[in-house]
Structure 1
Amino acid sequence: MVTDIIDSDERFRGLLDRLSSKSIDDYYNPYQMFEWPETLPERMWWMSPELTTTHGCEVAATLSEDQLFALSRHESVNFYSLNVHGIRELLIEVVARIHTAGFEAPSEFFHHFIGEENEHMWFFAEFCLRYGKKIYRGAGGGAVIPPVASPKVENLLVFARILIFEELVDHYNSRMAQDDRLHETIRAINRIHHQDESRHIAFGRELVEHLYADLKKTATEEELLEVSAYLRRYLSYSFESLYNPQVYRDAGIENPLELRRALLDAPTRPETEKRVFRKTLKYLERTGILR
């Protein structure tokens, strides 16, 4: 069982203790922390332009400055909407495992994780509803685990998915937190999320590695290859969720479905996806999880 591996790993147990202590020391009240202005200026960037889905593509040169600002507004709301949906899904999975057989050791940290993620979901939803007047619907379907998965495979895929999601959004958070072209409210929510996610990613990497070590004890080579293939598909699915045709429609861009397909097929897209997941891919390949 994974508990046996964790119990014998003093370094991981020490990490769990340190992360739990840091969660306590860094605790903040999100309901009092943020200043929510009545409105945000429309003629400014709501997302760093280099992070928008049209950046570096031919279509960007055909858009006016007002269209680019509008695109950044709606892509910003879509990004925080993805956070709302992703957090809801990961909370369901973690709550289902806290204080259960095999997860005794990390359950103390799970309490901090659950509390922090619930608060993240609140302030992302608050931003969407205040300034976008909506939470964009999630794409759905990309997180379905194969029905034949064993409990060990399922546990690994659940926490690997959580890690991929966290590393994806942290790539954007860390950059927008430092971008002085953005409104301070936008920078603040990205900054505080990056602060918390750095702990969650450190925990997630260790847990996923231990779950994989536990799986390898009994898994066949075919099962390990299926895990690798599934996670590669999930990486692409996660990245593609940023390309929302409803965003393009709301930004006033014609033929939004055609635009999405053109952007996904653009020659710059593979390199952009690789750059976003650079650290994630390096980790998953180093551990052997991605074959």
Structure 2
Amino acid sequence: MVSALIQQNERFLTILDRLSSKSVEDYYNPYQLFEWPESLPEHMWWMSPELTTTYRTEAAERLSEEQLHALSRYESINFYSLNVHGIRELLIEVTKRIHTSGFETPSEFFHHFIGEENEHMWFFAEFCLRYGKKIYRQPGGVAAEIPQSNVESLLVFARILIFEELVDHFNSKMALDNRLHETIRAINRIHHQDESRHIAFGRELVAALFVDVQRTCTQQELDDISTYLKRYMTFSFESLYNPQVYRDADIDRPQELRRELLQGPARAEFEATVFRKTAKYLQKTGIIR
């Protein structure tokens, strides 16, 4: 049982205690923390240009500075929209497991996790609705589905970890970027602070779940897990390339632009950079091949 493995893991128990204590120490009220100006200047970056999907591409050379600023504005709304959808999904999955067989030990931290993620979803949605007047629709696709099987919990928490590490890559960069408005830096800074704890917890839990899965799975099943998670990483990354974003930024032929960017040479480097730490962790643990 996963609970038995965790209960025997003194390192994980120590980390759980530390992270739970840190959640209490760092607690803040998001409804009082943020200042929401009436509007944000349009003629500036809303996302670090290095994080936009056209960075270092031929497409960027065809766009004016005004279009690039508009693109960063709508890509930021898309990014926070992805956070809203991703958090909703992880809240459902974690809530289904809190105080259930196999998850007795991490359930105390789950309470902190659920509370913090709910607040994250609120301030990301607040940003989208205040400054973008909408939340972009959740991307669909086969890779978004979680197969019902004896490895379901491993896939759920591995997906959560992948999502959080992708988001944190952006948060950590934008929190320190003085080209961005203070409101944008603030929401990225506070999210990075919380996600650092969630990622530390997620890595320990995923590793424990994988040890349990290895005991009962065939090599083919382990290969299938690897394939699924690699596909999910690609799916998650490609959700950043939203044709509706390009349309809203008044860029011609948005679907063609998306195909051009996904097939271009800059995409592979960008994806490798975003998932550098994630891929290294998953490979080191043997979860992906």
The equivalent residue for 1:40 is 40
Aligned partner of residue 265 in structure 2, secondary structure: coil
1:202 alignment partner AA: A
Alignment of 1:218-237 (within 5 A): 218-237=216-235
The equivalent residue for 1:160 is 158
Structure 1 residue 211: deviation in Å? 0.1
2-side partners of 1:94 and 1:209: how far apart? 17
Structure 1 residue 54: deviation in Å? 0.3
Structure 1 residue 143: deviation in Å? 2.1
Structure 1 residue 210: deviation in Å? 0.1
2:87 alignment partner AA: I
Structure 1 residue 268: deviation in Å? 1.3
Query: What TM-score results when the alignment is normalised by the length of structure 1?
Result: 0.98
Structure 1 residue 140: deviation in Å? 2.2
1-side partners of 2:153 and 2:175: how far apart? 32
Alignment of 1:73-92 (within 5 A): 73-92=73-92
1-side partners of 2:144 and 2:202: how far apart? 17
Structure 1 residue 4: deviation in Å? 0.5
The equivalent residue for 1:276 is 274
Alignment of 1:118-267 (within 5 A): 118-141=118-141, 142-147=143-148, 149-150=149-150, 153-267=151-265
2-side partners of 1:85 and 1:78: how far apart? 11
Structure 1 residue 239: deviation in Å? 0.1
The equivalent residue for 2:63 is 63
2-side partners of 1:140 and 1:94: how far apart? 21
Aligned partner of residue 99 in structure 2, secondary structure: coil
1:273 alignment partner AA: E
Aligned partner of residue 44 in structure 2, secondary structure: coil
1-side partners of 2:40 and 2:267: how far apart? 30
1-side partners of 2:205 and 2:41: how far apart? 42
The equivalent residue for 1:3 is 3
Two-structure CA RMSD over aligned residues (Å): 0.6
| Percentage of pairs with the same residue | 74
The equivalent residue for 1:102 is 102
1:236 alignment partner AA: T
Per-residue CA deviation, residues 58-77 of structure 1 (Å, 9 max, x unaligned), is 01001001000000000000
Per-residue CA deviation, residues 218-239 of structure 1 (Å, 9 max, x unaligned), is 1111110000000000000000
2-side partners of 1:205 and 1:20: how far apart? 15
Per-residue CA deviation, residues 198-232 of structure 1 (Å, 9 max, x unaligned), is 00000000000000000011111111000000000
Aligned partner of residue 45 in structure 1, secondary structure: coil
Structure 1 residue 41: deviation in Å? 0.2
Unaligned runs of 5+ in 1: none
Per-residue CA deviation, residues 243-282 of structure 1 (Å, 9 max, x unaligned), is 0000000000000000000000001111110110000000
Aligned partner of residue 39 in structure 1, secondary structure: coil
Per-residue CA deviation, residues 140-174 of structure 1 (Å, 9 max, x unaligned), is 23321224x22xx1000000000000000000000
Query: What TM-score results when the alignment is normalised by the length of structure 2?
Result: 0.99
Aligned partner of residue 22 in structure 2, secondary structure: helix
Aligned pair count reads 288
Alignment of 1:3-42 (within 5 A): 3-42=3-42
Aligned partner of residue 96 in structure 1, secondary structure: helix
Aligned partner of residue 252 in structure 1, secondary structure: coil
1-side partners of 2:235 and 2:68: how far apart? 25
1:93 alignment partner AA: E
